Chains A and B, each alone.
Chain A
Amino acid sequence: MPKLFFREALARAMAEEMEREPRVILLGQDIAAHGGSYAETRGLFERFGPSRVRNTPVAEAVTVGMAAGAAAAGLRPLVFITYLDFLLLGLDALVNYAAKLRFKSAGQLSAPMVIKATAGAKGQGPTHAQSIESWLMNVPGLTVLSPSTAGDAYGLLKSALRAPGPVVFIDHKKLFPRGGVVPDHEELIPVGSAAVRREGRHLTLVAHSYMSVLALQAAELLSAEGIEADVIDLRSLWPIDWDTLANSARHTGHVLSIEEGQVTCGVGAELAFGLRERIAALRVARLGARRVPVAASPVLEAFTIPDVPAIVRAAQRLMTDTAGSESALT
């Protein structure tokens, strides 16, 4: 199986789906001749032409609204939002129109569109580096995907481009410089399926996006201390793969959720509650960002969001402390 850059996996998924389905179009800033902010659309403008690969102005509200309308009228737009922070400008069209269209029209209309947005801290500061994906999990009608590997990005983006309603596909700045194995044949990853990246028996680490990469590294350090962790990569934030999570949690009895965003009403809050509804005897903890904006200074940025040592410490505490769950970086 070939190893590709993350952007190449995305480009391959888009090219295959555009070849298969003429209604798939791409809308976004600098995606045409320039080839995308992350070079992820390189070659697609030349191959599919200006009517299917369209540059849009710096006006996310307009772009998302246009995509919602185009989707309702029969197209399958894929909208590029350079940083997830900028999706805030397009939330009205996404939440109030696209996500609700099937419900409001009793299934007569739908908005099969995909928003691809890049989250995460890598030196961009308070308004270009947020991980606010948990906000979107709250919206009925939205599917929220967040891969951590090139192979999953390929398989999930393909599924997103065939989904019946709006999908937000969230990647991470730190995933782009990495290579990853991508199947050499066409392969879709179903929406709502988590991946078990590592099997242990004492503890379940659950994460998504770049935090899955760090969770795996933390699991190796914990293993050296005799703590063997399951590592579950959510891949799909909504719908949540409760079966995979509950199977692991039942087995280990301890769940630590790790996310780069805020813990308040975050992914971990939802996971902890959902798992406790399913399994009574369970110790849960969550780890996420400190309650401050993402810092622009690299030193403060690192201080703000979880890293491998913080995950290890939170896991050790969960395994030894009888007082309750820890919810902040310490």
Chain B
Amino acid sequence: MIPMELGEDVEVRLLQWSKAEGQPVGIGDALLEFETDKALVLVSAAQAGTLRRCFYAEGEWMKPGDVVAWLSDGPDEPLPAQADAPTDDLLVTFDIT
């Protein structure tokens, strides 16, 4: 999820995915990079699993609170039917440049 801490009335742009849907993810692996009006933010996994769904494409705009991707513990775990289904937040790290 794009962190709410970015504030209200803020938009960010997804620059690049580092993983594709279906790929395994290890702790510390880069997932994606997005851009705010001032900074580049590299999002990396802080837990292992499988990247199951990417809801935004490179170049698309997102807001704080938007769910960007789903990660599951195992590759075959059943997924919720709805994109806005409640899920636990994925543990990630944000590196800002």
Q: How far is the CA of A174 from the CA of B38 in the complex (A)?
A: 13
Question: Which stretch from B9-17, B21-29, B70-78, B84-92 is at the chain A interface?
Answer: B9-17
A163-178 with Cβ < 8 A to chain B? 174, 176-178
A5 touches B13 (CB 8 A): yes
- By size class, the interface of chain A is 10 to 19
Tell whether A179 is near chain B: CB-to-CB under 8 Å. yes
Q: Contact mask A281-294 → B, CB, 8 Å, 1/0?
A: 00000000000000
Q: Contact mask A162-200 → B, CB, 8 Å, 1/0?
A: 000000000000101111000000000000000000000
Residues of chain B within 8 A (CB-CB) of A174 are 9
Minimum CB distance partner of B61 in chain A = A179
Q: Contact mask A204-220 → B, CB, 8 Å, 1/0?
A: 00000000010000000
B61 touches A177 (CB 8 A): no
Q: Using A6-B37, A38-B37 as known contacts, say yes or no to A177 and B9 having CB atoms under 8 A apart.
A: yes
Q: How far is the CA of A177 from the CA of B7 in the complex (A)?
A: 9
Tell whether B18 is near chain A: CB-to-CB under 8 Å. no
Q: How far is the CA of A179 from the CA of B35 in the complex (A)?
A: 11
A179 touches B13 (CB 8 A): yes
Tell whether A269 is near chain B: CB-to-CB under 8 Å. no
B37 touches A5 (CB 8 A): yes
Tell whether A39 is near chain B: CB-to-CB under 8 Å. yes
Q: Which of B35, B37, B61 has the most CB of A within 10 A?
A: B37
Residues of B within 8 A of A (CB): 6-7, 9-11, 13, 35-38, 61
Listed A/B pairs (7) with beta-carbon separation below 8 Å: A6-B37, A7-B37, A174-B9, A177-B36, A177-B37, A178-B9, A179-B13
